Structure formats: structure tokens, C-alpha cells
Amino acid sequence: MEIILLSGGSGKRLWPLSNNERSKQFLPLLDKPGGGKESMVQRVVRQIREAGLNADITLATNAAQERIIRQQLGGDIPTVLEPERRDTFPAIALACAYLSLAKGCSDDETVIVMPCDPYTEAGYFATIGRMAQAVASRAANLVLMGVKPTYPSSKYGYVVPEKGSGPVFKVSRFTEKPTVERAVELLDDGALWNGGVFGFRLGYLMEMVRKYIDETSFETVRARYGDFPKISFDYEVAEKEPSVAVVPFDGAWKDLGTWNTLTDELSAPVTGRGVLGEDNENVKIVNELDIPVFADGLKDIIIAVSADGILVCHRKQSENIKKYVEKL
């Protein structure tokens, strides 16, 4: 089995610690077993290896992130670099071209594509194992992971499975980021969040690659990367494919993409050099600089400090930073 980790993002929602070169998945803020800190991508790679999936890992990313990937993961994980940013379908197509044309994997090789930064548990990777089994048994041309929702959200796309017994279900339809009211109805229909994890045979995707670039070398495909349409994998592949199955995952799963969600998972109230007074409630300090930060008399506040700037924000408004990063 081959696992492709997608690493992208502009880092806007976790300013000032993240930026174009150091997106959220590279922030070394999470507790590591045995002590110390690790980033989201380091955590996911560790979890894949601990799960015993017998999988090779390839990381698909852009050139701006190459240096930090080498720093955090070393040189034992191959990286496929996009010449330019063109959304998830071209990135996955290029990574598959690498597996087929450069690495020499067969068309029957099972490929799992997943984000490099889910905050999740061991059961997630056991579900990936079940997805791989479904691909190998030809349950469908495309196999997805569906995350059991914990609340009606408008932030996620939904997958509605057909009625039946698991562990693999045929997909009835997709719904992209509905209103909360529509999400309530979807949950009543048994809908699952689209977890952004895809499984397929390598030959299945290479047929799509050759629709746009029919070449026999990876270097040529990469040189003609702009010939791929700038479109998401969901729109280009998943929603057009008539043979789709979903494997449900019912466990802890979070997107730590905002200061509010990320700081919920930080074990200590202060990371770095800082002191909280006695009259604070639900306050977190994350400080990368060697200057002290003191806070007192605050409630539900996040303070983040780096060489790029200082953020002081109420938790509920922390996602608003994305709108202002260009001005900053």
C-alpha cells in the first residue's frame, strides 16, 4: 500500500506562528509520547508507522514547504513538489505519476490519499486499513472515509451512504457544505462528514492522468503540470465517479485549523516564555520569542507571539484573523 500525504495551506488562520512556508501542520506544539513536542505532520507519520499498515509514505507538497519538511521528517520520506499550486486533483495526479513512472509501482497498487494534519486516534488508521481492503477487493473504483458527525456543521462536505450493513457502504450522493438546517436533515439520513481520505488502485488514477498528459516519464509530467485543470479531487473525480463506496470512522477527529481548536489540545496554559496571573479564566499563551509575556484579568483569550507579530484575541473571534493577514 502507498499512502500519499497532502501538505498545503497558506497558514492564515494561525498567524503569527504560521505563514506560507510554515503552515499549521508544522507547528511543534503537540505533546509527544515520552516527552517533548511534535508537529501535526510528525504526529501523523508516527501514527501511520505505529498502526502497522505496511505502507510506504509519499508527501505531496509545494516547493515553499520543502525545507521545513526535511527538517521535521528527515530524508527518508519522498516528497513530490508541485511546480505551482493547482488544487488537490493536480497534486494527487502528480504524486500518482511519481509512484507509477518514477517508483515503478504497478497499476494494481492500492493508494490511500489523506491530509497530513488530522488530529485523530488509532481507530482512524485502522479504518484506512479497511479502506485498503475494500480497494483490493474491488468494492468500488473509489473508496472514501466517512467520519461520523458529532454535530450539524456547515464547514464540511457530507457523504450519504446507501442503507445496508457495513463495514463498506455504497455512496448514494454528496452534499457540499450545506446550511446548518440542511445538515440536521442530512444527519437524520445517516450522512457522514467527508474526511478527505480517498482510496483507489493506482491504475485508476493514472488513466485520468493520461487524459491530460500522456507521457512516459515523471519528469515530463511534472514539466507539463500546468496542463492539469485547477480543480479539487472531489469535483474532478469523486462527484463524477458512479462507483464510490465509503468506510465509516466513528472516533475522535478534529481539524486544528484555528487558534480556538488548536489551543484546546495544548496541555499547558503557557507554551514558551510567559506567566499567567491568578485572575484568568480559559487563557492560553503561545510565545516563540525570548521575551516574557504576562496576562491577568482575562477570560477566553488567546495570546500568540512570534517574530512575525502578536495576536491577542477572544477565542470565538480567533478565526477572523484570516481576513486581516494580508493587511498585517
- Bridging pattern class, strands 309-314 and 293-295: unpaired
* 33-42 confidence digits (pLDDT tens): 999 999 999 9
pLDDT value at 303 more than 90: yes
Give the model's pLDDT for residue 301: 98
Q: What is the pLDDT of residues 134-174, one digit of tens each?
A: 999 999 999 999 999 999 999 899 999 998 877 999 999 99
Q: Is 76:67 a contact under the CB 8 Å cutoff?
A: no
Mapping DSSP to helix (H, G, I), strand (E, B) and coil, where does residue 35 land? coil
Number of C-alpha atoms within 13 angstroms, CB side, residue 224?
16
Helices (H), ranges, 100-224 = 122-136, 180-188, 202-212, 218-223
Beta-bridged to residue 295, according to DSSP, are 276
Distance of CA 59 to the CA centre of its chain: 12
Q: Which residues contact 317 (CB under 8 A, 6 or more apart)?
A: none
Give the bridge partners for 287, in sequence order: 305
pTM of the shown model: 0.94
Residue 9 has pLDDT above 80, yes or no: no
For 41-83, the pLDDT digits (tens) are: 999 999 999 999 999 999 999 988 999 999 999 988 999 999 9
User: pLDDT tier at 308 (50, 70, 90 boundaries)?
Assistant: very high
Separation of alpha carbons 159 and 179, rounded Å: 15
Q: What is the rounded distance in angstroms from the CA atom of residue 220 to the CA atom of residue 223?
A: 5
As separate numbers, helices (DSSP H) first and strands (DSSP E) second, the chain gives 10, 19
**What pLDDT does residue 1 have?**
97
Q: Is the per-residue pLDDT at 293 higher than 80? A: yes
* DSSP structural state of residue 14: G
Q: What is the mean pLDDT of residues 291-302?
A: 98
Q: Of the given ranges (11-20, 145-154, 210-219, 237-246), which has the lowest mean pLDDT?
A: 11-20
Show the cell assigned to 289.
Answer: 520569542
% the chain with pLDDT above 70: 100
Closest residue by Cα to residue 23 from 52, 59, 76:
59
Average pLDDT in the chain = 95
Taking phi over 0 as left and psi of -120 to 50 as alpha, with beta for the rest, 244 belongs to: beta
The per-residue pLDDT for 174 is 93
* Cα–Cα distance measured from residue 235 to residue 92, given in angstroms and rounded to the nearest whole number: 13
d(CA 229, CA 213): 11
Please answer whether residues 213 and 207 qualify as being in contact, where contact means their C-beta atoms are separated by less than 8 angstroms: no
Q: How far apart are CA 78 and CA 231, in angstroms?
A: 24
Beta carbons of 218 and 98 less than 8 angstroms apart: yes
Residues 199-235 have pLDDT tens digits of 999 999 999 999 999 999 999 999 999 999 999 999 9
> Homologous superfamily of 2-144+196-254 in CATH?
Spore Coat Polysaccharide Biosynthesis Protein SpsA; Chain A (3.90.550.10)
Q: Other CB atoms closer than 10 Å to residue 283's CB: what's the count?
A: 21
Total count of residues recorded for the chain: 328
Q: Which of 95, 284, 290, 286 is nearest to 205 (CA)?
A: 95
Report residue 315 as a C-alpha cell: 477565542
- In degrees and rounded to multiples of 5, residue 206 shows phi and psi of -65, -30
pLDDT, average across residues 112-125 = 96
Q: What is the dihedral of CA 60, 64, 70, 76, to 10 degrees?
A: 20
Domain boundaries, the chain: 2-144+196-254, 259-324
pLDDT score recorded for residue 76 = 87
What is the rounded distance in angstroms from the CA atom of residue 204 to the CA atom of residue 305?
A: 46
